[in-house]
Structure 1
Amino acid sequence: MTIRNGIRMLAAVMFTDMVGYTSLMQENEERAKLLRDRYRKVLEEKVFEHLGKVVHYFGDGALTIFGSVIESVQCAKDIQTELLKEPKVNLRIGIHAGEIVYDDDGVYGDTVNVASRIESLSKGGCVLFSSKINDELKNHSEFKTKSLGLFELKNVKYPIEIFALNSDDIVVPSKIDFEYRSNIRNDSIAVLPFVNMSKDPDNEFFSDGITEEILNALSKVEELKITSRTSSFAFKGKNFDIRDIGKQLGVRNLLEGSVRKVGNRVRITAQLIDTLDGYHKWSDTFDRDINDIFQLQDEIASTIVNTLKKSLKISSQQKPLVKIPTTNLEAYQLFLKANFFWNKWTPADVRRSLELLKKSVRLDQNFAQAYSALAACYVYLGAIGQFSNSTAYEEATKYAEKSLSMDESLPESHLSLAMANLFNWKWDEAYKSFQRALELSPNNADAHHYYAYYMMAIDNKRKAVIEAEKAHELDPLSLPINTFLGDMYLNAGMISDAIEQYKRTLEIDSTFRAAINGLGWANYHSGNFSESLRLFKKSQEIAGDDFKSVANTGFIYAKMGETEKAFECIKKIETKEQSSSEINYTLDYALLYLGLGDYDKVFQYLNKAFEDKLGALIFIRSRSWKEIHDDNRFKELLNKMKLPID
């Protein structure tokens, strides 16, 4: 791999980040900007006093470097001391020292990554730093420090001991504040797919549906960390040791069971297992009439919560965890069948899901969950180009709003509405819906995943990484989420992290094209054009279609100086466009002309994408388009989309 060119130097790296800035912007924009301006003014004054340099602002945060560890810590202390005065600014600070690479695009290297991870661990008002910083402070009696313990930081090979600055002038955290971050959490649980024990294999949709309903019920318990469906269902039909599953999913507890459906009778067996020692914490068998299915789901979920409550600080459940969504069992079974096909995630299966849901709501016009699922289908089909943007997001909005008019507490409806608003460039509306979805379902991996899209669109790269990492923590085996985490690392300039993440994704599935393409882009940004081209061609081979990834290969050809091959790729798109007029290739043309360096053509197509209201234009701030980000025409485009330039 080609090494990034730039100045190599030793430095202390300090990350700072305002806590709750985005929420405050929605509640009181004037106050949020006042506090941000105060934070930046204090930061710049103190950094100047201590001979540092603010390298990069990212929304409500900043990256600063110093030539001296002592100056960096004193600066951090002075900043927190000042910002704890009225009007208070709730700020997190993390510091690490080591070698960095400094070039025109910013500061890079493992030192930057570690400082960033330490800052994300921090609490408002305190100063955290690594053992390397602490070692430098030992001969300086004016600094008192406090060990918080060893922490495993993401993409850092070995655990690092983290310290806090111990001073009466600032906030000093306790070890208890950080205990849950250092090991597998006792309050973590995954629900494995319940086995279909019915004679009819077609009843698999029912056993899968029961599993998912119990998982959704448990996700409403805020104190529990729930692994998402995709990762749990990766073990469907496989014979793994419970301890191995626990390690792969990073959970302490597993719920497994079986479902037998005979006529109108249902038998469900379930057991809760400790993944550390295989001990069965609880097991039971339930025989019920199918008309009691919702009460049964609630009974199982509530029993699990009460079992875990004995050893954890979990609130007693005053309300049922499972609502009765419909009184029409035929409509409910159609809904479960629709979910079964939805989870296959292919265009044909999602269309089949759509038709089943339409039948379901015809049987029960007050079935809020079915309307919510309809909205999700239209968002998916619009995002992959199966429907026009106007049709897809108009229908998604209609069904999401209809669902919420019946039941405002459905997080999936808020999420579908958020995505429809995001692709329609309604930023404030999208933000509010994302916040409500996360408030209702904080353990929803998809909500964190898609919220990262929003953060990427408004150019808050750091928050996009944090949300992508949260989604990955909740759904560690999801291929799209794994790949997207690599995308966010790449977008934030964490290229080595991105490469490692794409490789980890390909260890799960070596044929997953999105990860192969992501690895291709990471190699391009590392300067390794030939490897990038090889990967894009590999993606085409796996697809069995040399038109797939044609814009990517054409871009690389252009960057390698092989302009004739780049123009051949343009001709391929022109030919394809004539035979499939329903698909929009505007951004493919823009990318190819970007590779050729014809910026006039690039903006011609980007402005056409704006006129066509292409939802994918929200990704225009990604690293792939970085070379035009300083062009005034790019800023004009952001203004037209009503996106913040700063």
Structure 2
Amino acid sequence: MSKALDSLPSGISADDVHKQLVRILNSPGFSGLSAQLLDYIVKNTLAGRAEAITERAIALKVLGKETYNTKSDASVRMAFQRLREKLREYYYRDGNNDSVLFLLAVGCYTPRFRRNRTIDTIRPRSEKAWDLYIEARRLWGRRTPKALRSAIAYLEQALEEEDTFADAHAALAECYAFLSLSGQAPHEVMPLAKRHVDAALSLDEDNPTAHAVRGFIACAYDWNWDEAEVEFELAIALDRRSTSAYCWYASYLVAVGRNSEAILQCRRAQASETSTSLVTNSHVAKILHVAGEHDRALNLLIHMIDEAPTFFLTHWHLGLILLQMGQPDRAILELQSAVELSGQMPSVLASLAFARAAIGEREEAQRLLKQLIDRRVKEYVAASDVAAISGALGALDEAFWWLDQARQERAIFLTWLKAWPLFGPLRADPRYQDFLKSIGLLLH
């Protein structure tokens, strides 16, 4: 058996790959150089000549360049970037239901071939494990700390039923990652998220949720922004219907200031669901908000409140938008509702304190600030929340002291230092640019 055929995943034949190649090359978006390039790398890989697919060989065989300097000429790398974009668009539009995926990792010229994921390919043998997993995903959608912990318990039971259930490990990683945003110290839960990402990928190296969570960990906890984008793009390539992957990627794009791309990913997240969930819509509203699309975010949130009046994320984001739109009374009411519905979640309470400070209610803002600082004795309250309130009160030295504490904690909201409205009062201070540099955000 040739090296090429031996390396094909179970369930995919060389004939399957050839048929998929023809299907892609005959699609409306593929022509010219991208078509020639894809044809060259796929056929050489199938022929067992993957090691011969080098930058110089591509320059000669596809681009027709007799001489090629890899240091000064980026034409091959640019051609591959366009090819990756073409494949991404193809699988999003025409090839969404194709059975075979062509994957091209950044920096790699050899394609990988994978079977598209379906319910049948991810469902475990144990019906009980599957039922526990489905219930956990339902609880995960509530986003409160209590619901996330309950989801974790269900997923652990699912793994007791079937310890090779990769998606249960990936879902556990996602739950632990969200707990870092919901009142648990990142140093406590992110290592657990990493452990379950590794477990999921050891069972299924192409698990899209695991790659998406790995991307989130890379940017939000490790501050490795380049690695994060590679993981997000891989997650989406592996499953075009992965709502979570689109949402994680959108958060990353906002963090690095690529707002229009973030909005596009949100639209794709909405389109990936038959009926868009509250969780997805709340994420879209948040992205629209920080991207400056206040009216669109407001309309979406008002519709969501009519649909589910007790979902705390809706009230939280609505309150912050109303504050920025100059409607402080309504903003305070919405934020108070969010605090109550979230169970006094620290970051939500910090938003209420910020709003109080922003409208001149300093005593109430200081009272809430003290409350949050006092809570740090017994529970995790992100230092970034304290920094934001201090900044709103004009205490910039204290704010930057707390930011330094947040950096030591790896507080997750630091990821959105350039985007989250609560950090606005800090951005004119000269120390702000130095801080961005320290977490790798200055050049993004």
Shorter-chain TM-score range: 0.5 to 0.7
Contact kept? 2:129, 2:157, Cα under 8 Å: yes
Q: Distance in 1 between matches of 2:406 and 2:116?
A: 51
- TM-score where L is the length of structure 1: 0.47
- Counterpart mapping for 1:145-544 below 5 A: 322-323=120-121, 329=126, 333-345=128-140, 347-348=145-146, 350-358=148-156, 360-361=158-159, 365-386=163-184, 388-424=185-221, 425-475=223-273, 476-540=275-339, 542=341
Query: CA offset at residue 353 of structure 1?
Result: 4.4
Are the structure 2 counterparts of residues 408 and 536 from structure 1 closer, same or farther at C-alpha, using a change threshold of 3 Å?
same
Are the structure 2 counterparts of residues 320 and 478 from structure 1 closer, same or farther at C-alpha, using a change threshold of 3 Å?
closer
Aligned to 2:416, which of 619, 623, 633? 619
Q: Deviations over 1:504-553 (max 9, x none)?
A: 22122123222222222112212222332232234345567698843223
Higher relative contact order (CA 8 A, sep 6+): 2
Larger Cα Rg: Structure 1 or Structure 2?
A: 1
Contact kept? 1:379, 1:416, Cα under 8 Å: yes
Q: Distance in 1 between matches of 2:122 and 2:366?
A: 59
Read off the aligned partner of 1:518 and give its amino acid letter.
H
Aligned to 1:559, which of 345, 358, 361? 358
Are the structure 2 counterparts of residues 552 and 322 from structure 1 closer, same or farther at C-alpha, using a change threshold of 3 Å?
closer
Query: CA offset at residue 352 of structure 1?
Result: 4.4
Q: Deviations over 1:296-327 (max 9, x none)?
A: xxxxxxxxxxxxxxxxxxxxx99997337666
Contact kept? 1:219, 1:444, Cα under 8 Å: no
Q: Distance in 2 between matches of 1:615 and 1:544?
A: 20
Query: CA offset at residue 363 of structure 1?
Result: 5.9
Contact kept? 1:335, 1:356, Cα under 8 Å: no
Query: CA offset at residue 396 of structure 1?
Result: 1.8
Contact kept? 2:117, 2:239, Cα under 8 Å: no
Aligned residues: 348
Q: Give the fraction of aligned pairs with identical amino acids, expressed as a percent.
A: 22
Q: Distance in 2 between matches of 1:442 and 1:502?
A: 26
Are the structure 2 counterparts of residues 367 and 525 from structure 1 closer, same or farther at C-alpha, using a change threshold of 3 Å?
closer
Q: Distance in 1 between matches of 2:354 and 2:148?
A: 32
Q: Distance in 1 between matches of 2:403 and 2:299?
A: 32
Query: CA offset at residue 350 of structure 1?
Result: 4.2
Q: Which 5+ residue runs of structure 2 have no aligned equivalent?
A: 1-54, 56-74, 102-114
Greater strand share, 1 or 2?
Answer: 1
Contact kept? 2:215, 2:229, Cα under 8 Å: yes
Query: CA offset at residue 439 of structure 1?
Result: 0.4
1:637 equivalent to 2:435? Answer yes
Contact kept? 2:129, 2:161, Cα under 8 Å: no
Are the structure 2 counterparts of residues 514 and 367 from structure 1 closer, same or farther at C-alpha, using a change threshold of 3 Å?
closer
Contact kept? 2:220, 2:415, Cα under 8 Å: yes
1:583 equivalent to 2:380? Answer yes
Greater helix share, 1 or 2?
Answer: 2
Contact kept? 1:547, 1:572, Cα under 8 Å: no
Match of 1:262 in 2: none
Report SS of the residue matched to 1:477: coil
Q: Distance in 1 between matches of 2:119 and 2:373?
A: 54
Aligned to 2:403, which of 603, 606, 609? 606
Query: CA offset at residue 88 of structure 1?
Result: 9.0
Q: Deviations over 1:112-147 (max 9, x none)?
A: xxxxxxxxxxx99xxxxxxxxxxxxxxxxxxxxxxx
Contact kept? 1:415, 1:434, Cα under 8 Å: yes
Read off the aligned partner of 1:494 and give its amino acid letter.
E
Q: Deviations over 1:230-275 (max 9, x none)?
A: xxxxxxxxxxxxxxxxxxxxxxxxxxxxxxxxxxxxxxxxxxxxxx
Read off the aligned partner of 2:291 and give its amino acid letter.
A
Read off the aligned partner of 1:377 and give its amino acid letter.
C
Read off the aligned partner of 2:436 and give its amino acid letter.
L
Report SS of the residue matched to 1:344: helix
Are the structure 2 counterparts of residues 538 and 335 from structure 1 closer, same or farther at C-alpha, using a change threshold of 3 Å?
closer
Aligned-residue RMSD, C-alpha:
3.9
Are the structure 2 counterparts of residues 586 and 567 from structure 1 closer, same or farther at C-alpha, using a change threshold of 3 Å?
same
Report SS of the residue matched to 1:374: helix
Contact kept? 1:220, 1:440, Cα under 8 Å: no
Report SS of the residue matched to 1:397: helix
Contact kept? 1:486, 1:518, Cα under 8 Å: yes
- Counterpart mapping for 1:59-138 below 5 A: none
Match of 1:155 in 2: none
Q: Distance in 2 between matches of 1:546 and 1:376?
A: 19
